[in-house]
Structure 1
Amino acid sequence: MKVLCVAEKNSIAKAVSNILSGGQLTTKNTNFPYVKNYEFTYSGFNFTGSNASCEVVMTSVAGHLTGVDFDNQQYGWGKCNPSELFDANLSNTKNKDQQKIAENIRKSARNVDYLMIWTDCDREGEYIGWEIYEEAKKLNNRLNDNTLYRAIFSHLERNHILGAARNPQRLDKRAVDAVGTRIELDLRTGVSFTRLLTDTMARKVQASQQQSMPPPNNSNSNKKENVVVSYGPCQFPTLGFVVDRFERIRNFKKEEFWTIQLVVSEQDQGVQSNNITNFQWDRGHLFDRLAVLTFYELCLELAGNKARVVDIKSKQVNKWRPLPLTTVELQKNCSRYLKMNARDSLAAAEKLYQKGFISYPRTETDTFPPSMDLKSLVEKQGQENSSAWFAYAKNLLDTNNNNHNKFKFPRSGSHDDKAHPPIHPIIGLGRDASITVNERRVYEYVVRHFLASCSEDGKGQMTSISLNWNDEIFNANGLVVLERNWLDVYPWMKWENSKTMPRLEMNQEVIISKAEMKNGYTSPPKPMTESELIMLMDANGIGTDATIAEHIEKIKARKYITSDKVGKDSYLNPTILGVALVHGFETIGLEDSFAKPFQRREMEDDLKKICGGTLTRRDVVTDIINKYKGYYNRTNQNKNRLLQVYDQVKRSLS
């Protein structure tokens, strides 16, 4: 029996081949330098009907094997009305590298009995698997749905890979259809609107950018940079979030507010202590100075400097350990804590996965299966004594010490994509591991997050005291941290003791050391951080966990937003063009479809319905394309309004 196995990347093909072959394999070059063929024998496939050894060739692609595009002769830029692209025929394309990889797939598949797909186990991986299958059967008519199998795996640990080889499944054709739908819709809507917007605005935008640029001083000064005003159904809602925050800041008007604060000193209560506690007004703050002044003067007049204790509560509080790690949470927290952008953090995580250090980093799941042996993973982190968390991991499993912090199975979140477990470490990182600085930082974050999720919650004692000052209630809270637990391995989260609370009793009359009427001002929101943007995109269904970083980078590349560093933090701000595009579509009545997340969220919901079998690809494509034809016609009829808004924004921001 002969079996062809195909992975999504050469590094995965090499790692899997080494495991299945026990290191006894032959490596052969292909016509594409970054793809190798690994040949070996293996007897663990159950679909062969026997335990006989199979001749295996394992190879890979390098991402997608094909692209989708319009015929350039008929539908190239300037050769047709952009509106024709909504109904134009599409064809599969291959660049030179893809052609070389496809040729290797065809040659390798020519005489095999079975094809086994080892691409990443997500929607995109299913689609790439289908591309491989379509190519492989061109020279082998024995390959069909009955001889096609799919390995299900989430990391490169040996026993896990052997289990995946022994228990294959089938390609998910519904997931293939869902990805094909997204590719087709993004192409048709993106290209048609990009051409319309570029034809309408590029000349004006280019002239404006040249005016604002410093005079060139090199030999290429006469070269003009072509401006492309691109549209993407994920790019525009992403831009919309940044512009919305920018406008809230720009239009913010500070308001003065007033509040009352009581200061209580234990010394004034006859206690030998320097402890001073501030009690905050239960009403918070009010924007009516006269109203606050009336309350303040009445209290002074009728109660003087005396208040009464009306409530004392003391309760145990927990600082919850983090949920298991998802892709979005990884990108968000690497941006927030490590100051790494989403693209770099995900790229580092991908490399760590390919090298076998962590599990598959593209997952929406925040729940570990109960059967998963997490203690063994913690144990591995307690064996590598060169790491900063070695002692913590070792103590987590030590049943002989008096440490309160013991291993505890992680909390379960509400998401499970049924494909991959949460991101977690697979093996310890040796002192001499060949990884980059970014990969090391991301690995450390993954490990610390995993260990924290397997720990006890932080435990503390919260005390609350309420005072009645002429029927106005004032509160103070104090926290004593009793057990830090997971916080000891997670340095990015703070949970500290607060100021000691005064020793008071119920109904005790308290001497007020100072009663103040204080004022303050509301403050504008801060500019958008990448961490916040990732969170907004995820909450609103813009992009997938794997593509969020791409959409952010795209609107940076198109000069719709900039990333501006202030101190240690970086903030995202829109450019004149970015603001003009959002307001331009608002002006022509398309803000809900373009600059807001509703249209994209609806499409993502439809893709899930395709996966669930309640909608077909034809249903979704027909519905959304009909909507976009209407959007296109409205935009085309209001092109001058887009130019007018650009001029208005330029004047207001210059």
Structure 2
Amino acid sequence: MLIIAEKPSVARKISSFLSNNKYKKIKFSKNIYYYYFNLEGKNVYVVPSIGHLFTLSDLDKKYEYPTFNYRWVPSYFEDRIIAKKYYIEMFSKFKNENNIIIATDYDIEGELIGYNILRYVLNKENADRMIFSAITYKDIVRAFNNRKESLNFGYIYAGETRHIIDWLYGINLSRALTKSLFYYTRKFVLSIGRVQGPTLMLVFNREKEIENFKPEEYYKVEALVIKDDKKLKFSYIKDKIKDKDEANKIKNNLGKYLIISNVDKKEEKINPPHPYNLTDIQMDAYKYYKISPKRTLDILQSLYEKGYVSYPRTSSQRLPETINFKEILSNLSLINSYKKYIVLLLEKQILKPNNGSKDDVHPAIHPTGNIPEYLEYKEKLIYDLVVRRFIATFYDPAIIYKINVITKENFVYDYYDIKYKGWLDIYWEKYKDNFVSLKFNVGEKLFIDKVYISKKKTKPPARYNKASLVKKMEELNLGTKSTRADIVEILFKRKYVEGKSIKITELGKKIVEIFERYYPDILDINFTRKMEENLEKLESKPDISLKEKIIEENIEIIKDLSKVMKENEKKIGEELYNFIKDYLNIKKYKNN
């Protein structure tokens, strides 16, 4: 029996769990190992990959476009990571094995990793499938005992089609841009991808909104008053006053006191948060700790492989009842920082999470209950987000008071007070400053310490940051949950965007300008989204004819695009060269 794992650390854990830690680690070559144990009289080999061992490559290396002459080749042909050659050779040892189980991550990429090893190394077309959402003893044993008799060919067809389409767009667009420059220089390589184009367009459009925004000046009148030894800022009820004379009149009409005329107190219930999906935790990690979406995913992947959290590449905001919530919480209560919150939950007869509407093959991200032995600083931060969200989703709603205070002079003060913390207690250090315990009475006089007239301007839309751009991509169905963070990083790497508050560079603008003029579909969100929808259809209903149709449609689009680019090649090259020459001179001047 051969079990194929996605990474060495996962192969070791699978071997440990299925053999009750009675396995042998066998050296294949320097630093490359596989695992062996005997299970009920059967020899079992667990052999790891290191991600994708095969990739797409151009059959002819003439640097011409359009090219549609692709094939799958060993990855080390392209990325020069020679270790992958030895992993392929290691799998070749097991060509005669007929009982094969794929135990890679259960997603599009994991399915394709396993399938390519299966067909290109082991000469097989199908295998059994272990499906798990966490790398724990219980999950691995259950996945082994309940393994499927076939791979998910919806995932395989969709994954292979996505790779082919992305490769076709990437190589042909890169060659079109770079060859246009060859008329003038061979020092630069330019590129844009199928999803990168519309993502860059999002940043470009936001920049245009900011540039076209016409700020309006207004005045704001605020009174600083004394209440119970605290200084509170009351604002005039008309938030934006256009005329300065009007603002001065409001200020001059004030006496020594503001007199309370009305206190409106409303009780509101705030439900606990939904369990985390990938995008939600990426947003929070950036919001609280400025950890980029890509880094957050890398950390979550590491925590998953160590067995501390569930599979991270999920869109789900739901935790199914099949998860033993009480057992996980009992284990987490051994960690002192969570104990006081969990004790209350363990007293409940029924534990019901506040599930959201989004669902996926894998459940929402949650702790497995395995207690980490050691975590690096950023791992601790991400793990803490996962655990606190998991605990919070079982808690009672918070009950707050929303209080609106109005004075006879038409000044207002809005604040929140807490009635019952509920789930907010778990995050109290973050939220406590949002609440104030004050009591106002109608007729009460508040001494005015100072009155301000501030001159302000309306603000343009905010630029995206890395997390909000990933969130926008999710909303528009651009890319996948696994690729969005990488796509954003690629735009930075190519110098098309820059800054924490993401701004399109002059080079990025020039790329947009060229494609807007010659082939705007490459930047069109709807064009890319429609393609994603076709891939999702293929994923849910595997159909080889649909796969071939999607590829053929995109080949025709690339042929059309290439024709336009070739007709204007020299013109595009001249425009790019003149821009790059001036752009580099400006950068050089600024750096001196």
TM-score range, shorter chain: 0.7 to 0.9
Pick one of 135, 141, 162 that aligns with 1:182.
162
- Give the secondary-structure state (helix, strand or coil) at the position aligned to 1:325: coil
User: What is the alpha-carbon distance in structure 1 between the residues aligned to residue 429 and residue 561 of structure 2?
Assistant: 46
2:109 equivalent to 1:124: yes
Amino acid at match of 1:427: G
Describe the superposition over 1:621-653 as per-residue Cα deviations: whole angstroms up to 9, x where unpaired.
222332333333334434425753775695798
Q: Is the 8 A contact 2:221 2:236 kept in 1?
A: yes
Amino acid at match of 1:412: N
User: What is the alpha-carbon distance in structure 1 between the residues aligned to residue 576 and residue 188 of structure 2?
Assistant: 18
Pick one of 382, 385, 393 that aligns with 1:442.
382
* 1:488-507 pair list within 5 angstroms: 488-490=425-427, 493-498=430-435, 503-505=440-442
Report how far residue 161 of structure 1 moved: 1.4
User: What is the alpha-carbon distance in structure 1 between the residues aligned to residue 382 and residue 74 of structure 2?
Assistant: 36
Report how far residue 361 of structure 1 moved: 1.7
Report how far residue 22 of structure 1 moved: 0.8
- Superposed CA RMSD in Å reads 3.7
Report how far residue 173 of structure 1 moved: 0.7
Partner of 2:93: 107
Q: Is the 8 A contact 1:257 1:285 kept in 2?
A: yes
User: What is the alpha-carbon distance in structure 1 between the residues aligned to residue 464 and residue 317 of structure 2?
Assistant: 26
2:216 equivalent to 1:255: yes
Partner of 1:478: 415
Amino acid at match of 2:525: P
Amino acid at match of 1:630: D
Which has the larger displacement, 17-26 or 124-133?
Answer: 124-133
Partner of 2:131: 152
Q: What are the ranges of 5 or more consecutive residues in structure 2 without an aligned counterpart?
A: 77-81, 588-592
- Give the secondary-structure state (helix, strand or coil) at the position aligned to 1:542: coil
User: What is the alpha-carbon distance in structure 1 between the residues aligned to residue 194 and residue 4 of structure 2?
Assistant: 32
Change (3 A) 1:558 1:305: same
Pick one of 531, 539, 545 that aligns with 1:611.
539
Partner of 2:522: 594
Partner of 2:344: 396
Change (3 A) 1:510 1:329: same
User: What is the alpha-carbon distance in structure 1 between the residues aligned to residue 155 and residue 554 of structure 2?
Assistant: 19
Pick one of 174, 190, 195 that aligns with 1:229.
190
* 1:319-468 pair list within 5 angstroms: 319-385=270-336, 389-397=337-345, 399=347, 409-418=352-361, 420-430=362-372, 433-465=373-405
Amino acid at match of 2:402: M
Describe the superposition over 1:106-165 as per-residue Cα deviations: whole angstroms up to 9, x where unpaired.
3224144x2111010111112222213214543xxxx664xx210110112212211111
Q: Is the 8 A contact 2:36 2:46 kept in 1?
A: yes
Partner of 1:90: 71
Q: TM-score, normalised by structure 1?
A: 0.77
User: What is the alpha-carbon distance in structure 2 between the residues aligned to residue 339 and residue 203 of structure 1?
Assistant: 43
Q: Is the 8 A contact 1:408 1:456 kept in 2?
A: no
Q: Aligned residues, how many?
A: 575
Q: What are the ranges of 5 or more consecutive residues in structure 1 without an aligned counterpart?
A: 43-52, 207-225, 267-272, 401-405, 564-569
Describe the superposition over 1:313-362 as per-residue Cα deviations: whole angstroms up to 9, x where unpaired.
32222344332112222333223322222333222222222121221122
- Give the secondary-structure state (helix, strand or coil) at the position aligned to 2:94: helix
Q: Is the 8 A contact 1:193 1:231 kept in 2?
A: yes
Amino acid at match of 2:334: Q
User: What is the alpha-carbon distance in structure 2 between the residues aligned to residue 459 and residue 325 of structure 1?
Assistant: 22
User: What is the alpha-carbon distance in structure 1 between the residues aligned to residue 446 and residue 331 of structure 2?
Assistant: 58
2:573 equivalent to 1:573: no
Pick one of 39, 43, 50 that aligns with 1:55.
43
Q: Is the 8 A contact 1:106 1:135 kept in 2?
A: no
Q: TM-score, normalised by structure 2?
A: 0.84
Partner of 2:22: 24
Pick one of 147, 166, 171 that aligns with 1:168.
147
Partner of 1:220: none
- Give the secondary-structure state (helix, strand or coil) at the position aligned to 1:397: helix
User: What is the alpha-carbon distance in structure 2 between the residues aligned to residue 436 and residue 198 of structure 1?
Assistant: 42
Report how far residue 196 of structure 1 moved: 0.9
User: What is the alpha-carbon distance in structure 2 between the residues aligned to residue 516 and residue 66 of structure 1?
Assistant: 67
Partner of 2:243: 289
